[in-house]
Structure 1
């Protein structure tokens, strides 16, 4: 079966594609930036079409000869996301009908039935509208409606995880008493894969959820129990609005404010499945759907084992300069500030590269940790990515994925790692780390580039220049010294005290 997946660079789509391949399907992916799929393990097994769900011409090419279309995109966190998602759904539905696509599968949001659309949160209202647009199209459509998805790397799970782990006592909004029916990401995958084979006369929405109905407060308490944490003190009050709550989530968790606000706004509703009709077409496994605590246990295990397949951070932070991701930064024209530093390491280029490509996350940035932490907190306060996105995996890094407040823009294995800043700054910034062979071992070259925007941009660069010697100079010294220690057989230790598992590519 020929299948088109939109949203393959996202959290759900990136997990779905390899599972469809395992079932023997021919998979095509429509992506705005093909480079984001260049390094994923299954890249050579799929067909990639460059385009966008709002572009009818690229959709015409992408849907040619397709049997099933998975619609897994949304504009959450983008200004005017509801209008953009409406237009995208209408364009996709028209293209699918014109090209004879036999089925559309859409993963939407679970929402309380009987509540008028104007009373729903903007996020849930948009999800509901998109689902209805697809259902009203001539193409048979299945809309799967899920509440909170529990899986390593999902935005909802990361929000829950960080709130619970970082706050042993918390004052919360009253919505923490609302009931929710979470679902494990493995069950979402099972339903999505099976929907490709549903009968042609099935054109409807299905509620999907796990076996447990819990309040958000109970979800945090059960998470704490699975994670081996003491019971949390949770005090609900009525004075915290969803917007204020989202600001707090932005500070405490890795989820940026632009995404936290619509997620938190959606929690003001009770979201419990009203039916389980999907079981008529996709029977439950022998042991039933995955219980909440089992889903949390599996998610934590994958996180601790560095086996996270995809994360919410794969998608660019809304409004960040890395969206769209170019193949090469346009540094010509205008004024560009640079900070260039070099140092020779008495180590092989391969050893130095292992240190370079292992940078970030728990491995740290080989520089003044307090300065990086303060800058990260400042970025979080103004709604930026901060440092808490970390690395998806301690041993692998792909083009297009997040690395703390950076986005991986280019990798030339053994030679070049280029990062683009997603912090809130008055301009655009890159950091290039380069390794070349040298008669004495390996030469490490580090280049920071900043393109200022307006007078504020120039003032920003001038203001931080005095700190470059501490931050960038420290990076050069410590990265080369780490390579020399590694070459000598000495173990490397991260700032957290854990041994570094530097990757070999």
Structure 2
């Protein structure tokens, strides 16, 4: 089967391409001419389609002849100096892709990678796919853009376009160290002494999912997902404090002894944003990151388990793989007690 993957050079998209090739599919990857292609070329023979999701005509050429589209392309950052990029890529890019799919008329299924942010915070409960974002506030411009894109996808589904929507949680695991791989960045900061304590009080629950489980969830959505269906590809609901405690057990090191209050992290975030505007380097922590941590984002993936056979590993299992991988790359250092 001929499959198009957008966002193929990203963290999730690259691993998805490799898995699709292993399953015997013919993969076409939408890439920019300036993209680093080293990682996706390791997975096997892949066809390259040069273009961009913001360029409609390049999408028409890329979609032509493909039976399935995996649309993973997105700007995934908590903060950008130019917030319009979230909407031009995350909303405009999806709009272009849907238009191209309608025009070419060869596409049997579109798997759209949305985000748990499109469903909104879950303060005080665990949500499923039926939750509707309250829209009273947004922690990040990324969140706002993914909600608008989700509305676009739902409208397309109601109009008969063969689309399936999947909603990953916080993706972690080995692979490309993009902004989306935030758990890797936090562990690097923790074990290199730049993050000496817990972040907040440990009430910041998010749903963490291993990248390879999410990849398999995408492939299962292609094979089994109902047209117009929505599936949370999430995992264990936990706090950053819990992640650090598991990491301490795995490495045989001590847990942090202090809690860094969120107001202090926010001040650091504002300083990081100021530094970013001077240097052009995006900050690891920005005020929107703190706004996210002030809420809970806990979700149930029962529907995906039942309908897709989705089987997420525990956070402990995932970190037992990820931490030695980070150490093997020299990105973290620790000496066991």
> Of 205, 208, 232, which aligns to 1:207?
232
The count of corresponding residues between Structure 1 and Structure 2 is 300
Q: Structure 1 residues 246, 95: closer, same or farther in 2, change over 3 A? A: farther
Whether the aligned pair in 1 keeps the contact of 2:115 and 2:167 (CA below 8 Å) is: yes
**Any stretches of 5+ residues in structure 1 without a counterpart?**
307-361, 363-387, 391-495, 497-505
In the TM superposition, 1:270-285 aligns within 5 A as: 270-285=296-311
What is the 5 A alignment of 1:71-86?
A: 71-77=71-77, 78=80, 79=82, 80-84=84-88, 85-86=90-91
Matches within 5 A, 1:119-130: 119-121=137-139, 122-130=141-149
SS at 2:99's partner residue? Answer: helix
**Bigger fraction of residues in helix:** 2
- Conserved? CA contact 2:71–2:112, under 8 Å: yes
Q: Residue in 2 aligned with 1:90? A: 95
What is the CA distance between 1:94 and its match in structure 2? 0.9
Alignment deviations for residues 175-212 of structure 1 (CA, whole Å, 9 cap, x no partner): x422122111121111012222135x4213222222x3
Aligned ranges 1:348-387 → 2 under 5 Å: none
CA distance in structure 2 between the aligned counterparts of 1:110 and 1:35, rounded to whole angstroms: 27
Q: What is the aligned partner in structure 2 of residue 427 from structure 1?
A: none
The C-alpha deviation readout for 1:230-289, integer Å capped at 9, x for no partner, is 1112325353364634756999xxxx535643555433331111452012322145xxx2
Check if 1:240 corresponds to 2:264: yes
For the aligned residue pairs, the C-alpha RMSD in angstroms reads: 3.0
Query: 1:247-286 to 2 correspondence within 5 Å?
Result: 257-258=282-283, 260-261=285-286, 263-285=289-311
**Other-structure match for 2:161:** 139
- Per-residue CA distance 1:305-361 (angstroms, 9 max, x = gap): 45xxxxxxxxxxxxxxxxxxxxxxxxxxxxxxxxxxxxxxxxxxxxxxxxxxxxxxx
SS at match of 1:76: coil
Checking the alignment, whether the CA contact within 8 Å between 1:156 and 1:263 is kept in structure 2 is no
Label 1:290 to 1:125 Cα distance change in 2 as closer, same or farther (>3 A): same
Query: Is the contact between residue 17 and residue 27 of structure 1 (CA under 8 Å) also seen in structure 2?
Result: yes
The 2-side partners of 1:248 and 1:228 are apart by 32
For the Cα contact (< 8 Å) 2:91–2:146, is it kept in 1? no
Q: Which has the larger radius of gyration?
A: 1
- Relative distance call for 1:171 and 1:227 in structure 2 (3 A) is closer
Structure with the higher strand share, 1 or 2: 1
Aligned in 2, Cα 1:293/1:304: closer, same or farther, shift over 3 Å?
A: same
Corresponding residue of 1:191: 217
Gap change, CA 1:291 and 1:161, over 3 Å in 2:
same
Q: Which runs of 5+ in 2 are unaligned?
A: 122-130, 276-280
Judge conservation of contact 1:109–1:146 (CA < 8 Å) in 2: yes
Q: 1:246 to 1:274 in 2, by over 3 A?
A: farther
Whether 1:36 and 2:36 are equivalent positions in the alignment is: yes
Q: 2: CA distance between counterparts of 1:151 and 1:14?
A: 13
Among 309, 320, 335, the alignment partner of 1:297 is: 320
Larger RCO (CA within 8 A; separation ≥ 6): 2
Q: What is the match of residue 3 of structure 2?
A: 3
Task: Find the counterpart in structure 2 of residue 457 from structure 1.
Answer: none
